C-alpha cells in the first residue's frame, strides 16, 4: 500500500487565523448559543400550538381539559391564552448563561403545567375559591395534569447543528 503526502507551501496565516476563530467559538460559545436560542423557543411554541409534548405525545392523551373550563377558555388550545402575545406560550424566552442556553418561562404557573401537581390553599383550613363555567367552586385542592412543553427534541438538535455549522462557516471565512 502506498501513502499519500500533501505538502503546503507559502503562508499558512489564513488557515491559522481560521483555526483561531474556530477555537474562540469553542472557548466562548455564547454567540452561537444566543443565535440558536430564539429558534429553539419557536420550536417549543410550535409544539405548544400543536398541543404536543417534546416526545411527540398529544397533551390531550394526558388528560382532557375540564369541560367547564373548556367552555369559557379564551385561547385556541391548551396552554395558549389569546394567542402568542399572552399566556404561557407567549412568555417563552431564551438566554445565555456562560456556556449554557436556557429557555423557558418566568410565569409562576409554568412549573405546574410542565410537571403537573396539586394546588392547595395557602392556609390549612382554607379553600380555593374560583368561578368556572358560570359556577362558583370552593374546594380543598385542584389537580393540574402535567402537560410538558419544555424539552430538547430531535428538531432542536437539528437547529443546534445548523446554527453551529453557520457559525463555523463564518469563522472559517473570517466574515
The residue ranking higher by pLDDT, 174 or 140, is 140
Kindly report the pTM of this predicted structure: 0.79
The pLDDT assigned to 61 comes to 87
Long-range contacts of 116-121 (CB under 8 A, 24+ apart): 116/143, 116/144, 116/145, 116/146, 116/147, 117/143, 117/144, 118/142, 118/143, 118/144, 119/143, 119/144
Partners of 95 in beta bridges: 102
Are 22 and 164 a contacting pair, CB within 8 Å? no
What is the average pLDDT score of the chain? Answer: 87
What confidence score (pLDDT) does residue 82 get? 57
How much of the chain is helix, strand and coil, in % rounded to 5?
A: 45, 15, 40
Give the pLDDT confidence of 62-100 residue by residue, as tens digits: 887 788 887 777 766 667 765 556 688 889 999 999 899
Q: Residue 149: is its pLDDT beyond 90?
A: yes
Confidence label for 11 from pLDDT (cuts 50, 70 and 90): confident
pLDDT of res. 159: 94
Of the segments 5-9, 87-91, 151-155, which one has the largest average pLDDT value? 151-155
- pLDDT, position 1: 66
Tens digits of residue pLDDT in 32-67: 999 999 999 999 999 998 889 999 999 888 887 788
Q: What percent of the chain has pLDDT over 90?
A: 43
Record the cell numbers describing residue 18, joined without a space.
Answer: 481560521
pLDDT: which is higher, 102 or 71? 102
Residues 6+ apart with CB under 8 A from 16: none
Give domain limits for the chain: 13-115+147-173
Amino acid at each position: 500500500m502506498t501513502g499519500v503526502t500533501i505538502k503546503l507551501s507559502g503562508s499558512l496565516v489564513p488557515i491559522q487565523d481560521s483555526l483561531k476563530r474556530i477555537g474562540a467559538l469553542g472557548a466562548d460559545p455564547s454567540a452561537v448559543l444566543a443565535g440558536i436560542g430564539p429558534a429553539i423557543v419557536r420550536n417549543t411554541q410550535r409544539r405548544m400550538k400543536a398541543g404536543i409534548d417534546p416526545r411527540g405525545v398529544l397533551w390531550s392523551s394526558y388528560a382532557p381539559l375540564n369541560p367547564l373550563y373548556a367552555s369559557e377558555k379564551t385561547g385556541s388550545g391548551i396552554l395558549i391564552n389569546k394567542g402568542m402575545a399572552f399566556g404561557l406560550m407567549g412568555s417563552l424566552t431564551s438566554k445565555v448563561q456562560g456556556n449554557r442556553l436556557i429557555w423557558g418561562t418566568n410565569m409562576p404557573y409554568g412549573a405546574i403545567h410542565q410537571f403537573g401537581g396539586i394546588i392547595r390553599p395557602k392556609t390549612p383550613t382554607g379553600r380555593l375559591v374560583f368561578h368556572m363555567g358560570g359556577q362558583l367552586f370552593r374546594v380543598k385542592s385542584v389537580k393540574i395534569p402535567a402537560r410538558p412543553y419544555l424539552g430538547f427534541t430531535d428538531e432542536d438538535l437539528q437547529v443546534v447543528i445548523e446554527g453551529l455549522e453557520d457559525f463555523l462557516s463564518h469563522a472559517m471565512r473570517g466574515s
